[in-house]
Amino acid sequence: MQKIEDVILFQVDLTSKVSKQHTQRDFDNLNLGITVEQWVILKIISESPSLSQKELAQKSYRDPASITRTLDLLEKKDLLRRESMPENRRMHMIVLTNEGKQFIKKNMKLVQSHRDQSTKGITKKELEQLSAILEKIRNN
């Protein structure tokens, strides 16, 4: 019987947790005032500026209630806002405020350095292979 530490899905989950903990520690040390999860939401919005809340939940693989709480927090921090859609006032477009855009721009270098550190010593080809393998796992 395989030990849990040898199960690939356990290793993937563990790697994700360690990465998030490391990044969160730096966010906290720099007093950024957001979580890694909130950063991910801001980054998704910055890359797809005309998303509805439902689309954001789908794109981030988070449940709608969690997205609502996260958006409430980020809106209080003036990093994003919800804009009513004229054709459906029950739906809102999620957009970054100018402060949100500046926040992403200012802190992208830090996030990129974490990404670079986490893949240090891994070739581009190895990263492409890993990405392909992880996609196969997701599709299974």
Q: What is the pTM assigned to this prediction? A: 0.87
- Examine the pLDDT at 87 and tell me if it is beyond 80: no
What pLDDT, on the 0 to 100 scale, is given for residue 13? 94
Pair 24, 93 in one domain: no
- The reply to whether 39 and 105 lie within a common domain is yes
Which domain covers residue 5, as residue numbers? 1-31
Average pLDDT over residues 74-89: 88
Average pLDDT over residues 102-111: 94
How does residue 38 score in pLDDT terms, banded at 50, 70 and 90? very high
How many of the other CB atoms lie within 10 Å of CB of 118?
13
3-state helix, strand, coil in the chain (%, to 5): 70, 10, 20
d(C-alpha 64, C-alpha 58), whole Å = 8
The predicted pLDDT at position 50 comes to: 81
Is 56 part of any domain? yes
